[in-house]
Amino acid sequence: MQKQLTAKDWILYSLLSLLISLVVLAMYQIDRQWSKLTEMETAMSEQSKDMRELRSAISSGKLASASVASFTGAKDVSQAFKRAQAASLQTDYAQGDWSVNALSSNLKTITPLVSTDADASEVQSYVLETLLTRNPDTLEWEGLIAKSWTVSDDGLVLTFQLRDDVKFSDGEPLTADDVVFTFNFTMTEAIQAPRDRAYLDKIKEVKANGKYEVVFTFKEPYFEALNIAGGSIFVLPRHFYEPFLKEPQKFNESKGLLLGSGPYKLQDPKSWTPDKGNIELVRNERYWGDVQPTYNRILWKVIQNDSARLTTYRNGEIDAYSARPVEYEALKKDAQILAKSQNYEYMPPVGGWSYIGWNQQIDNKLTPFADKRVRLAMTYLTDLDRIIKDIFLGNAIPAISPFSSTSKQHDAGLHPYQADLEKAKSLLKEAGYEDRNGDGALEDKAGKVFEFKLTYFQGSEDTKRMVLLLKDLYAKAGVRLIPFPQEWPVMLENLHNKNFEATLLAWTGVIESDLYQIFHSSQIANNGDNRIGYANPELDKLIEEARSTVDESKRMPLWQKAERILYEDQPYTFLVRNKRLAFIDKRINNVQMTKIGLNIGLLPLETYVPALQQKYTQ
């Protein structure tokens, strides 16, 4: 049955109509907002496209170089970015493409503080930043995160004024609180960072004085104070890492917790794990720097076999190849390599050095290498001339100590040990080792054969060849070397636990070496880098005195005295410093030599690929 509408019904229908109208209006407003956002995204995309097209026009010569300055930003930039700005003003400069590199082994972790190898440090250097950086041409300090700094008259107080525009890659601002947090986090005993604590042990406290001023106070004078405070501490974001103070073991066992303010970032700062093998960083679109990073991505491919790395380079899948000495001369005459490569042969200005470390104590029991005479005998058996000739084909020089022969730290009166089989046998006999049964092998007084395992990284062909040569050299004296190759993560774990008899390794070089980290007896415990258990009270005293001596003219004689003790004690048998024999793809432009080596790894990257030669579009 039909019913007529009443006044009440009209009111209800009116209210319902009004409600429907409001909903429709709200939907229309939301739609307008989405449209506006879409327009903004399109505009940004078009601007990005215009920028890429302009770069292409510049690199192809279609745009006069006079117009370049207005686009690339010919403006005042901080000194740290001057070289990068100069690169960006070149007529064929273009952003984009990828920088593709090779690693010879899988990394165990890239989490800062926890990681201990050079490859992990290289990856981190693209993501994390320090307050200061060195000018690669003059080696003088320049501001990076810090725009200025002062040092008190007594050298104990360093005050840094920070830039107010620095942001981490997640958009959070970097302030003095982050610097203070980084120091306190590192010095927390529960955090697995013994190496870094060894560097920072002379700092009494770090305090924030406002949002953009941070003050470092040292316990005593330290010759490397500015380097430590300004150039060695990678600033960590407090908001990202602070939660791990409640779960330090979770941090210590992590593999890829990496977030910073640098020009590149992990796509997900918690995502990387060793099973992924390759490591890929992407451009930090929020990068605060005066000049933006060149490449869209930085990629490291894990290629453990030397021959496979060369093949990959030939195929254009990686941008650089470090040649082995045994193949270098042939590659310089290889037509394909010559056609695609620029070639650099040089001794790194701050190059590293290789060594054999003799572990003096395993499970609280002394090893044969606890005897100084045994270590010295092993050095006399290690024929450096043969190693340089047969393994490096002359592309290396002897390493007398941790100090370069060109360094002021080096005592010019010290020279490499010359091979001397008879001297070695005499020292071993004095130490109680001789051939007691005529089988050609040395035994101790209890009749135990003198043999040891030499731990080394299995991925290097040159290292394998060197170990075989050492085996033959030692056998002449009746000492049995047992080659013990290991994968890199396994080797690091054994070194960490001091579970090895002897190891063949290398340390990276620095401008002025501080022996504390490697040779001071305090660094034996708590997973320090004195993995061989070497202790000499006289050396400890000299190291401490040298570190506290700011006057260089007084400090250098102390380092030279310390060097002589190492020379006489031979806790390591120091091997060689080898040349870099590098081939770099010609598509990589603006490769230059500096006082710290090639500028390939300088940040922000100074090298680039002209638009017409780029291979990767994203």
Q: Distances from the Cα of 37 to the Cαs of 19, 28, 29, 111, 178, in angstroms?
A: 27, 14, 12, 37, 34
What value does the mean pLDDT take over residues 235-244? 98
CATH at 459: 3.10.105.10
Under the banding of pLDDT at 50, 70 and 90, the label for residue 32 is very low
- Single residue among 266, 287, 305 that ends a domain in this structure: 266
Give the strand pairing for 597-598 and 593-594: antiparallel
301 - beta bridge partners?
A: 102
Instruction: Please tell me the predicted confidence (pLDDT) of residue 75.
Output: 53
For the segment 280-292, the average pLDDT, to the nearest whole number, is 95
Instruction: For residue 197, tell me if it sits in a domain.
Output: yes
- At 244 the pLDDT is 97
Encode pLDDT of 474-499 as tens digits.
999 999 999 999 998 899 899 989 99
Question: 295-318, pLDDT tens digit by residue?
Answer: 999 999 999 888 999 999 999 999
**Residue bearing tokens 């927390």:** 188
In a domain, 325, yes or no: no
Task: Match 């501490």 to its residue by tokens.
Answer: 233
Q: What tokens does 249 get?
A: 């073991």
Separation of CA 312 from chain center: 23
pLDDT greater than 60 at residue 472: yes
Q: Please count the CA atoms within 13 angstroms of the CA of 154 that sit on its side-chain side.
A: 7
Whether 358 and 258 map to the same domain: the answer is no
**Who contacts 84 (Cβ-Cβ below 8 Å, separation ≥6)?**
291, 602, 604, 605, 606
**346 part of a folded domain:** no
Total domains in the chain come to 2
- d(CA 524, CA 498) in angstroms, rounded, equals 10
Q: State the CB neighbour count (10 A cutoff) for residue 458.
A: 18
**Same-domain status, 225 and 358:** no
Residue 495 lies in a domain: yes
Out of 10-19, 218-227, 350-359, 558-567, pick the least confident: 10-19
pLDDT digits 0-9 by tens, 404-429: 998 999 999 999 999 999 999 999 99
Domain containing 150 equals: 128-266
Q: How many other C-beta atoms are found inside a 10 Å radius of the C-beta of residue 81?
A: 21
Using DSSP's 3-state secondary structure scheme, residue 580 falls into: strand
- Rounded average pLDDT over 586-615: 88
Q: Is residue 368 located within the same domain as residue 238? A: no
- 417, part of any domain: yes
Binning pLDDT at 50, 70 and 90, where does residue 29 land?
very low
Low-confidence winner among 183-187, 203-207, 276-280 (lowest mean pLDDT): 276-280
Q: Is 332 part of any domain?
A: no
Confidence of residue 603 (pLDDT cuts 50, 70, 90): low
For 184-211, what is the mean pLDDT? 95
Q: Do both 368 and 516 map to the same domain?
A: yes
Q: Is the pLDDT of residue 331 over 80?
A: yes
C-alpha 531/C-alpha 615 separation (Å) is: 45
My answer on whether 367 and 232 are in the same domain is no
Q: Cα dist. 462→223, 366, 392, 397, 456 in Å?
A: 37, 31, 8, 16, 11
Report how far residue 343's alpha carbon sits from residue 389's, in angstroms, rounded to the nearest whole number.
Answer: 22
Average pLDDT, the chain: 88
Higher local confidence (pLDDT), 111 or 74: 111
Domain with residue 184: its CATH number is: 3.40.190.10
Give yes or no for residue 120 having a pLDDT over 80: yes
CB atoms inside a 10 Å sphere around CB 422: 9
Query: Is residue 48 one of the residues assigned to a domain?
Result: no
Do 370 and 240 reside in the same domain of the chain? Answer: no
Q: What is the mean pLDDT of residues 105-115?
A: 93
Q: Which of 578, 593, 612 is the last residue of a domain?
A: 578
Of 563, 578, 593, the residue that ends a domain is 578
Q: In terms of domains, do 261 and 386 share one?
A: no
pLDDT digits (tens, 9 = 90+) for 342-400: 999 998 877 799 999 999 999 989 999 999 999 999 999 999 999 999 999 999 999 99
Domain assignment present for residue 450? The answer is: yes
**Are 605 and 84 spatial neighbours (Cβ–Cβ below 8 Å)?**
yes
* Predicted structure pTM score: 0.82
